[in-house]
Structure 1
């Protein structure tokens, strides 16, 4: 009897510096910065759009939104609570996996992990956020629900690699 096994290639992560070198994070090899034209198209109806998005042909992406919203380490738990309330109201049909605040490389980082409806299908999201130079930085890893098994561990590795290049105060 012959059994067939699904062959899956390992996804290699490489270190990138983003947002004018403010942040260092692992990004899947082969992910490229989304063009301005593609961002304009994808966010045409949005009130705001990410500062930069890395993607592999729209299969999966990680977006960085460096906001003008004030933030510091003491505010991360408050943001985590507020984002959770907002998301549960906005996405009533969402399936929640986890949320809270973790310490990553010496910084408090809030996160939300959920499957939410988007444009007629389910999308896996790992949203994580912290303060960078007194402003709130939101990072969102996204892929289609069917790709969650392949990308979930990678998304968590990306979040776990997050580090700011700010001087210690």
Structure 2
């Protein structure tokens, strides 16, 4: 790995970083806007997930499979996510080395960032890669408050993650950062939202990570 480029990417990572629960899950308390809402509202709350639809702040959120990074990787994301405009990205992530892929919801407060990292890595080495990258981030940005870290396995692919909070322009953020390898190339993604929305989004964020698929034989 070219250390100077890696360090530059880590320096730039520091630039990356309400909901109200429904009081009743009965049909009489749910605003049915379409057939999807009707179907989702009939799923018991404890069984709702990104494949059935989830209810956050009184609104139904539906997901679809989207491709990332030249269609090398796919992931389930909210249908409402769209690419952040260059103007908004320049304000929120001032560095010219900001993530190549920034997707956001209509409010701009729930985001997914995704980028290719410099160097090479193996599937088995992705946890060490995460430790090195996040260790440097913590030294650079002392506002980072680590929470939990671990590895999830999806069809033999190791995805190393770390949860943390950090101060940002629009308030304190909850982050779920994850690292994976595809064809020897390291990739990093970050889901973030305001910390007060963490209790609604955390489970869905992990479900999104577990939905990741590597596209094989693209040529």
Q: Separation in 2 of the partners of 1:159 and 1:72?
A: 19
Distance 1:95 1:41, change over 3 A: closer
User: What is the Cα deviation at residue 93 of structure 1?
Assistant: 4.4
Structure with max Cα Rg: 2
Cross-structure match for 1:42: 92
Q: Separation in 2 of the partners of 1:100 and 1:86?
A: 18
Cross-structure match for 1:129: 179
Q: Separation in 2 of the partners of 1:12 and 1:120?
A: 25
What are structure 1's unaligned runs of at least 5 residues?
none
Q: Separation in 2 of the partners of 1:139 and 1:28?
A: 15
Distance 1:58 1:89, change over 3 A: same
Cross-structure match for 1:55: 104
1:163 aligns with 2:213: yes
Cross-structure match for 1:89: 139
Cross-structure match for 1:5: 23
Preserved contact between residue 121 and residue 186 of structure 2 (Cα < 8 Å): yes
What's the TM-score once normalised by structure 1's chain length? 0.84
What's the TM-score once normalised by structure 2's chain length? 0.67
Distance 1:76 1:42, change over 3 A: same
After superposition, the C-alpha distances for 1:72-115 in whole angstroms (9 at most, x for unaligned) are 21321211221342243334444333112221232011111111
Preserved contact between residue 25 and residue 163 of structure 1 (Cα < 8 Å): yes
Which of the pair is proportionally richer in strand? 1
